[in-house]
Amino acid sequence: MRTSKPLFALASVLALGCAVFFSAAPAVAYTTCNRAGDCWHTDNRVHFRGVNLSYHNDKWADTHKSDAKYHWHDADADHDAHHGYWNKGEWHHE
């Protein structure tokens, strides 16, 4: 019976360690850009018929934040990245 307490303790520590590890996984986010240079943040790869978009990571966004070629747009209540996209500075709702 002495071995059951150490095994239980070990199993508890392993379970707690796994829970901490998996809960600390980073969220996936993208910087989405179109050919006109409009860029915005999305939490998944959105697709709209007839619209060509490119997807980048945070490091790419940080590197190109000050490039004159790109126009950065922030999400707000009127611009839901799941239901629309930017094109030439204008929001298009899908």
Query: Comparing C-alpha atoms, which of 74, 2, 5 is closest to residue 38?
Result: 74
Q: What is the pLDDT of residue 60?
A: 95
Tokens 């030439």: give the residue: 88
Mean pLDDT, range 76-93, rounded to an integer: 86
CA dist 42 and 61 (Å) reads: 12
CA dist 82 and 45 (Å) reads: 9
**Residues facing residue 84 across a β-bridge:** 93
State the average pLDDT for the chain.
80
Is residue 21 over pLDDT 80? no
**Residues facing residue 79 across a β-bridge:** 76
Global pTM value: 0.67
